[in-house]
Amino acid sequence: MLVDVFETAYLLRYWFAVLSVVVVWLMTKKSVLSLRDDFSYRVRPIPGCSLIGEADFVLPLYHTTCLGSSTACDIRIKNKDIAGRHALIYRYDGDWFVKPVRKRWPVFLNSVQIVLATPLESGDIIDFGGYRVVFNLDNLYPDEVDYNNSDNDSLKSYGEAFSLHTLPYNKNNYSSVIIWLFVNLFALSGVWLVYRFIPKPMSELRLLLPGFMLAVLFIVDIYYLLLPLILRGLDRFLFIVLTQLMMLGLFVQIRLSGITGSGVLQAADNVISTDNAISAEAAIKLAEYSRLIMGGLKSQGLSLMIGLVLMPFAIIIIARTRILEPIAVLCAAVTPALLIATLILGHGSEEYGATLWISVGGMSLQLTEFAKVTYIIVLASFFKTRPSLRVQFLFAGWAAVVFLLLMLLPDLGSVMILLPVTVVVYVVMTSEYLITLGILMSGTAVSLFAYNVFPHVQRRLAGWTTLWQEVSDSNRQIVYGLQAVARGGLLGRGLGNGSPGGIPLVSSDMVFTIVCEELGMIGALALIAMFVIIWLRAARVTVTAADGFTSSLALAAGTMFFCEAVVVMAGATGLIPLTGVTLPFISEGGSSLLAKLILMSILIGLSARRTGTEKL
Amino acid sequence: MKKLIFNLKIMLLVFFALSLLLTGGLILQQHRSKTRLAVAAGENLISLRQRYSQAGSIYDINGDILAHSENGIRLYHENDLTAQAVLHTVGDYTQRIDNTIETRYQPVLLGNSRNILHQLWLDVKGKGLGGDDITLTLDSDLTTQAYKLLGSRRGSIVLLNYKTGEIIVSASAPSVNPQNVIEYVDIPDTSLFNRSLRGSYAPGSVFKLVTAYAWLNSEKYDPRFHVVCAGESTIHPDYANENGDGHGAVDFTSAFAKSCNVFFGEVGVLLGQEELLAAASELGIGTGYQVDLLNGAVSSIQCEDSDYLLSWLSVGQPTDSSILSMSPIEMARLAGGIANSGVVMESHIIDHLTDPEGRKYQKLKISEDRRIMSIETASKIEELMIEAVKTGTGSSAAVDGLVVAGKTGTVQVEGQDNNALFCGYIVSDEYPYAITVVIEEGISGGGQAAPAAAEILSWAVDRE
């Protein structure tokens, strides 16, 4: 009976490989194409908002518009009294603001010099460098002005921008239904396998686990089908990726929870295979085994359910209101608070160098996972536009506190993720290339510091560098993981057919190696592609968003998913030293799963916000 | 905004590059792991158990199951003695013994060595998960009898077919049940060591085969050369026969039969270091050998140019700085080469492999390994060996109704009793068997090793 299901699982690997390739190919292609469209067609001035310049030229506005003489500016005015980057006009929290880039280059609003960001109203007069523009919120259609015949170079280029507006635009009509069907097939095959894998006498478990998987699939499918009816423009691709990752994660975790009780299973197996009637002893063993599996999956399942139930509300609230903006201030306080709480109350196994769990009502919580989410909200609110150097220093101070706390915990995994996220968001939103270089260098300094201070970092690094020479305690985990990767080959051994037993931390840090073993190189590459797709979809939101905050938060969220995945995938396969990071949606850990679901809700919610091209 | 788009495009490139790097890295790591970590020491035991739970079976030549997997467990031969006797050849799935069928043929047993089309075909037929079966040339009954014969004595018995190169018996004692190896409990000293394949024994008087070969092929060879043996050598007072008695006047044939150290010592000195070592290397001593994928121990020979050391070396007894060692299988290969008119055959332990569909492949191919001597030299040495069994020290190796050729050996080992050796073969086209018996602390080759060889040979003839 058992051999049967192994063979089935083994055959299904072809099915899974084909599905993965098709799904990933279609999704990547469509994501890249739509991002390209967004780059060329959707990055347009926001209709209904404009500056009226001299001679009644209408100058368009983006959600963040830079005025100055350099080529990097959106509105270029060549004048010796105008700085390279002189003034910024941007939208935040639904309102428009103007602010000078530097103190030395004054900006006047209604003849009063301003220093800080100041709200704009329709009809306000802005003077800078001897140039005067009027801020206008009237619906003034751009094609009423003939830019192309203008003598002014910069205005001409804006004419191009406006004329693009009238191009026939493919309204992101990329249907995702076929991909969605494929992903559902994938998930249903997985559910069926789980059902077949659980021995018949464990009837309770046999109904419960596949039932739970079906419920999760059903809920996400409902969201996929219904939410876009409420929120136009919601990114369905993200739902598909979410479904795929969650179902894979559920399968892997259910499958791995069986490993922990393998002794019990073996005993049960023997009893079942010898005689079909179950003795009392076997029944006890089976019950024990069921309990083991359920115990292992409890926090996972609970987090998943909480996350999924809250998801639509979070998405709708984020999409329809501007609640995240005021929350950012709160997050600035909450982030260090969460870390301090972990520092004081945290416990964990010293062996792995980190003490990150705190117990709340019998459940273990890893607050650092949530701190990561609040951190990027703060990050995004700081870098919604290019802030003044003073504000940048303020952020640097705050971030330094957060990073110091993370190092004290120590949670180097989070540092390794938040650092690149910060750098990416910073450089994209502010274009401060020199300072970025400085940050990168200080990042190197921080890692050197970490290497010298933390013994477990040195241990891991030593294990990593001697990976191919000798097997030691410090790298056994990765060697065993790599052996599993090697066993997988191109197509894998089939879901449930691998032999992950004995790999330390196989269900959390090393979970990627199981994916490699059971789904093969194709499955592993598909998984990488999934995270690339998340990033591409996030980049779309960044491009089309109506304000800088949405833009930068989406970028931060997408980058965080990607970085986390890359750090743990490369770590588990010995490409970089391994740090304790979870593979989003797949690794074991309720807190991580819940935090990732929150982050995904934020990203989906942001995607459903009004885009810059819609009229306010 | 323009800048933002520009930056984002740069980031897009960066992230694509990162993904490509990761993809490439992953493929590289998989490749490296496949080639370098697959059979690495310290493999994950729990995972090995899971993987071998679907591995193919190992059969002996008669179809007796030596290892198979059932209900998720790897099982070895049900008879304790047989399981012990074949342990060193078959091995165990935890891979604590290297150089075994289980370790060297792991990809075959686990079905990982197939090409993708064949795999696809098997998958379609629903047989893709099973590994391939291996049939050995080993006769487990005979090996068990040989192992029983060794009993509590340490040593090794090897029997091979010198016309085909098949290894029929390969027993090494002490041994232990594979279950003990898996659980790693109650393992007697050196019981995991495969003496037949990996043992390094000084060959003692068996080496006189080499000296005789060198003498026959030397320009200094004189059929009338003889020595009056008084038990002590004229070259060096310390040099003596094993028992110290004199053999009187001996010529080449009687010296070989009586295993006269004085005669062969003087021959060795006459030949000189260069000629003797050259002859040894012509016979393959100093190079390793393969038994399919299993590696045999590399034999070694080394001797300074001194009459004293040389005279001892010519009788197979390394002294002081000289080194001389051979494995039992290599000695049997040497005897087999003489029996097979000077040609050593490629040794084999794998008869054939069978895929899950029952298709046999990689069937044993009989092929010459190398010619070590001319037909004439081989037949001359054969005469000497027949005489040695008929009238000399190897007389207890004689088997009724068969012509047995052979040479005994008795080797002094510091700090323990002498090792007993016998190396020989049946002169027959019907029963082309070469044998080596090594019994550690067996006192004398003629006393313990030769009778054991006679028993094994008669069983081997009877088995068919």
Q: Which residues in chain A are closer than 8 Å to B50, comparing Cβ atoms? A: 499, 501
Q: What's the pLDDT at A147?
A: 47
- How much of chain B is helix, strand and coil, in % rounded to 5? 40, 20, 40
How many residues are listed for chain A in this entry? Answer: 616
Provide the shortest C-alpha distance from residue A120 to chain B (in Å). Answer: 19
Q: Which of A7, A476, A524 lies nearest to residue B26, judging by beta carbons?
A: A524
Provide, rounded to the nearest whole percent, the portion of chain A with pLDDT above 90: 23
> Residue A257 — very low, low, confident or very high, per pLDDT cuts 50/70/90?
confident
Q: Which residues 342-401 of A are in CB contact (within 8 Å) with B?
A: none
Query: Could B5 and A35 be called an inter-chain contact, meaning their C-beta atoms sit closer than 8 Å?
Result: no
What are A218-230's pLDDT values in tens digits? 999 999 989 888 8
Q: HSE on the CB side for B402, CA within 13 Å?
A: 27
Q: Which residues in chain B are closer than 8 Å to A7, comparing Cβ atoms? A: 126, 128-129
Query: Could A10 and B1 be called an inter-chain contact, meaning their C-beta atoms sit closer than 8 Å?
Result: no
Provide, rounded to the nearest whole percent, the portion of chain A with pLDDT above 70: 83
Provide the shortest C-alpha distance from residue A342 to chain B (in Å). Answer: 32
Fold that domain B204-347+370-462 belongs to in CATH: Beta-lactamase (3.40.710)
Q: How far apart are CA A572 and CA A517, in angstroms?
A: 13
Q: Say which range, A169-173, A324-328, A531-535, has the weakest mean pLDDT.
A: A169-173
Angle between helical axes of B208-216 and B261-282 (0-180°, round to 10): 80
**Residue A525 at interface with chain B, using a CB cutoff of 8 Å:** yes
For residue A387, cis peptide bond before it (omega within 30 degrees of 0): no
Q: Which two tokens stand for residue A589?
A: 């850990």
Average predicted confidence (pLDDT) for chain B: 87
- How much of chain A is helix, strand and coil, in % rounded to 5? 65, 10, 30
The distance in angstroms from the start CA to the end CA of chain B is 91
Average pLDDT, integer, range B69-85: 88
Inform me whether the pLDDT recorded for A163 exceeds 70. Answer: no
Q: What's the pLDDT at A116?
A: 82
Q: Which of A64, A494, A528 lies nearest to residue B23, judging by beta carbons?
A: A528
DSSP per position, A95-147? EEEEEES-TTS-EEETTEEE-S-EE--TT-EEEETTEEEEEE-S---GGGS-G
For residue A150, give the amino acid letter. S
Provide the shortest C-alpha distance from residue B75 to chain A (in Å). Answer: 15
Provide the shortest C-alpha distance from residue B389 to chain A (in Å). Answer: 52
More confident residue, B201 or A296: B201
Q: How far apart are CA A366 and CA B426, in angstroms?
A: 76
Q: How far apart are CA B371 and CA B343, in angstroms?
A: 4
Query: Could B126 and A471 be called an inter-chain contact, meaning their C-beta atoms sit closer than 8 Å?
Result: no
Q: Distances in Å between the alpha carbon of A224 and those of A237, A247, A337, B97?
A: 9, 15, 35, 56
Which residues partner with B420 through β-bridges?
B410, B439
**Residue A492 at interface with chain B, using a CB cutoff of 8 Å:** no
Q: How far apart are CA A344 and CA A525, in angstroms?
A: 40
Q: Which residues in chain A are closer than 8 Å to B23, comparing Cβ atoms? A: 525, 528
Query: Could A497 and B51 be called an inter-chain contact, meaning their C-beta atoms sit closer than 8 Å?
Result: no
Residue A296 sits at the vertex; the CA angle it makes with A292 and A301, to the nearest 5 degrees, is 130
Burial of A1 (0-12, 13-18, 19+ CB in 10 A): exposed
> What DSSP character marks residue B405?
E
> Residue B307 — very low, low, confident or very high, per pLDDT cuts 50/70/90?
confident
Q: Which two tokens stand for residue A168?
A: 């026939």
Provide, rounded to the nearest whole percent, the portion of chain B with pLDDT above 70: 94
Backbone angles phi, psi at B435, to 5 degrees: -135, 150
DSSP per position, B319-381? -TT-EEEB-HHHHHHHHHHHHTTTEEEPPBSEEEEE-TTS-EES-----EEEE-S-HHHHHHH
> Residue A128 — very low, low, confident or very high, per pLDDT cuts 50/70/90?
confident
**Residue B123 at interface with chain A, using a CB cutoff of 8 Å:** yes
Q: Which residue of B has its CA nearest to A428?
A: B7
How many residues are listed for chain B in this entry? Answer: 464
B97 in Cβ contact with B103 (< 8 Å):
yes
Q: Which of A3, A431, A499 lies nearest to residue B47, judging by beta carbons?
A: A499
Q: What's the pLDDT at B126?
A: 74
Query: Could B3 and A66 be called an inter-chain contact, meaning their C-beta atoms sit closer than 8 Å?
Result: yes
Q: Which of B15, B36, B128 lies nearest to residue A562, judging by beta carbons?
A: B15
Q: Chains A and B: how many Cβ contacts under 8 Å?
A: 153
> What DSSP character marks residue A576?
S
Query: Could A6 and B23 be called an inter-chain contact, meaning their C-beta atoms sit closer than 8 Å?
Result: no
Inform me whether the pLDDT recorded for B234 exceeds 50. Answer: yes
> What DSSP character marks residue B428?
-
B329 in Cβ contact with B160 (< 8 Å):
yes
Task: Give the DSSP H or E segment for A344.
Answer: helix A324-345
Q: Which of B6, B25, B40 lies nearest to residue A570, judging by beta carbons?
A: B25
Average pLDDT, integer, range A319-330: 86
Average pLDDT, integer, range A467-475: 72
Average predicted confidence (pLDDT) for chain A: 80
> Residue B242 — very low, low, confident or very high, per pLDDT cuts 50/70/90?
low
**Residue A46 at interface with chain B, using a CB cutoff of 8 Å:** no
For residue A86, give the amino acid letter. H
Q: Which of A581, A584, A616 is nearest to A600 (CA)?
A: A584
Q: Which of B12, B38, B48 lies nearest to residue A539, judging by beta carbons?
A: B12
- H helices, E strands: number in chain A: 17, 13
> Residue A159 — very low, low, confident or very high, per pLDDT cuts 50/70/90?
very low
**A362 contact partners, CB below 8 Å, separation of at least 6:** none
**Residue A273 at interface with chain B, using a CB cutoff of 8 Å:** yes
**Residue A34 at interface with chain B, using a CB cutoff of 8 Å:** no
Q: Which residues in chain A are closer than 8 Å to B22, comparing Cβ atoms? A: 528, 566, 569-570, 575
Q: Which residue of A has its CA nearest to B126?
A: A7
Query: Could A64 and B4 be called an inter-chain contact, meaning their C-beta atoms sit closer than 8 Å?
Result: yes
Query: Could A485 and B71 be called an inter-chain contact, meaning their C-beta atoms sit closer than 8 Å?
Result: no
Query: Could A573 and B26 be called an inter-chain contact, meaning their C-beta atoms sit closer than 8 Å?
Result: yes
Task: Give the DSSP H or E segment for B228.
Answer: strand B227-229
Q: HSE on the CB side for B298, CA within 13 Å?
A: 6
What are A392-428's pLDDT values in tens digits? 889 999 999 998 898 888 788 888 899 899 999 998 8
More confident residue, A199 or B130: B130
What are B244-296's pLDDT values in tens digits? 567 888 888 888 988 888 889 889 988 998 999 999 999 989 888 889 889 88
Q: Where are the beta strands (DSSP E) in A129-198?
A: 131-136
Task: Give the DSSP H or E segment for B168.
Answer: strand B167-173
Q: What's the pLDDT at A161?
A: 46
Q: Which residue of A has its CA nearest to B24?
A: A525
Inform me whether the pLDDT recorded for A261 exceeds 60. Answer: no
**Residue B61 at interface with chain A, using a CB cutoff of 8 Å:** no
Q: Say which range, A458-462, B207-211, B215-219, B342-346, has the weakest mean pLDDT.
A: A458-462
Q: Which residues in chain B are closer than 8 Å to A10, comparing Cβ atoms? A: 123, 128-129
Query: Could A63 and B1 be called an inter-chain contact, meaning their C-beta atoms sit closer than 8 Å?
Result: yes
**Residue A570 at interface with chain B, using a CB cutoff of 8 Å:** yes
A175 in Cβ contact with A26 (< 8 Å):
no
Q: What's the pLDDT at B438?
A: 94
Query: Could B9 and A39 be called an inter-chain contact, meaning their C-beta atoms sit closer than 8 Å?
Result: yes
Q: How far apart are CA A532 and CA B134, in angstroms?
A: 46
> Residue B194 — very low, low, confident or very high, per pLDDT cuts 50/70/90?
very high
Average pLDDT, integer, range B133-141: 93
Q: How far apart are CA B313 and CA A552, in angstroms?
A: 84
Q: How far apart are CA B21 and CA A171, in angstroms?
A: 34
Q: Which two tokens stand for residue A497?
A: 């057919």
Q: What's the pLDDT at A218?
A: 94
Query: Could B26 and A521 be called an inter-chain contact, meaning their C-beta atoms sit closer than 8 Å?
Result: yes
Query: Could A502 and B72 be called an inter-chain contact, meaning their C-beta atoms sit closer than 8 Å?
Result: no
Q: Say which range, A184-193, A457-466, A535-544, A597-606, has the weakest mean pLDDT.
A: A457-466
What are A553-576's pLDDT values in tens digits? 999 999 999 999 999 999 888 888
The three-state secondary structure class of B226 is coil
Q: HSE on the CB side for B42, CA within 13 Å?
A: 17
Q: What's the pLDDT at B464?
A: 64
A380-383 long-range contacts (CB < 8 A, ≥24 apart) are A380/A328, A380/A425, A380/A549, A380/A552, A380/A553, A380/A555, A380/A556, A381/A325, A381/A328, A381/A329, A381/A331, A381/A549, A381/A553, A383/A425, A383/A426, A383/A429, A383/A430, A383/A548, A383/A552
What are B25-50's pLDDT values in tens digits? 999 888 888 776 655 545 667 777 77
Alpha helices in B369-449 (DSSP H): 375-390
Average pLDDT, integer, range B372-383: 92
Q: Which residue of B has its CA nearest to A558?
A: B15
Q: Strands A75-76 and A64-68: what pairing?
A: parallel
Provide the shortest C-alpha distance from residue B4 to chain A (in Å). Answer: 6
**Residue A248 at interface with chain B, using a CB cutoff of 8 Å:** no
DSSP per position, A283-337? HHHHHHHHHHHHHHHHHHHHHHHHHHHHHHHHHHHHHHS--HHHHHHHHHHHHHH
Q: What's the pLDDT at B245?
A: 65
Q: Which of B22, B42, B45 lies nearest to residue A528, judging by beta carbons?
A: B22
Q: Which residues in chain B are closer than 8 Å to A497, comparing Cβ atoms? A: 129
Residue A242 sits at the vertex; the CA angle it makes with A239 and A248, to the nearest 5 degrees, is 140
More confident residue, A215 or B184: A215
Task: Give the DSSP H or E segment for A24.
Answer: helix A2-37
**What residue has token string 């005025």?**
A67
**Residue B18 at interface with chain A, using a CB cutoff of 8 Å:** yes
Backbone angles phi, psi at A22, to 5 degrees: -65, -50
Q: Which residues in chain B are closer than 8 Å to A524, comparing Cβ atoms? A: 26
Inform me whether the pLDDT recorded for B426 exceeds 50. Answer: yes
Q: What's the pLDDT at A145?
A: 46
- H helices, E strands: number in chain B: 16, 19
**What residue has token string 């604590």?**
B96
Provide the shortest C-alpha distance from residue B424 to chain A (in Å). Answer: 44
Q: HSE on the CB side for B116, CA within 13 Å?
A: 5
Query: Could A539 and B116 be called an inter-chain contact, meaning their C-beta atoms sit closer than 8 Å?
Result: no
Q: Which two tokens stand for residue A271?
A: 């009893």
Q: Which of A34, A33, A19 is nearest to A181 (CA)?
A: A19
Q: What's the pLDDT at A62?
A: 77
Q: What's the pLDDT at A169?
A: 44
Inform me whether the pLDDT recorded for A170 exceeds 50. Answer: no
Q: Which residues 146-175 of B are in CB contact (within 8 Å) with A?
A: none
**Residue B24 at interface with chain A, using a CB cutoff of 8 Å:** no
Q: Which of B23, B47, B116 lies nearest to residue A525, judging by beta carbons?
A: B23
- Domain layout of chain B by residue ranges: 204-347+370-462
**B270 contact partners, CB below 8 Å, separation of at least 6:** B220
More confident residue, A462 or B442: B442
Which residues partner with B171 through β-bridges?
B157
Which residue of A482, A497, A525, A564 to mutate against B (max B Cβ within 10 Å)?
A: A482
> Residue B81 — very low, low, confident or very high, per pLDDT cuts 50/70/90?
very high
Q: Which of B223, B451, B248, B434 is nearest to B329 (CA)?
A: B434
What are A48-82's pLDDT values in tens digits? 777 877 766 777 787 778 888 877 777 777 778 88
Q: How far apart are CA A493 and CA B129, in angstroms?
A: 8
Q: How far apart are CA B367 and CA A145, in angstroms?
A: 93
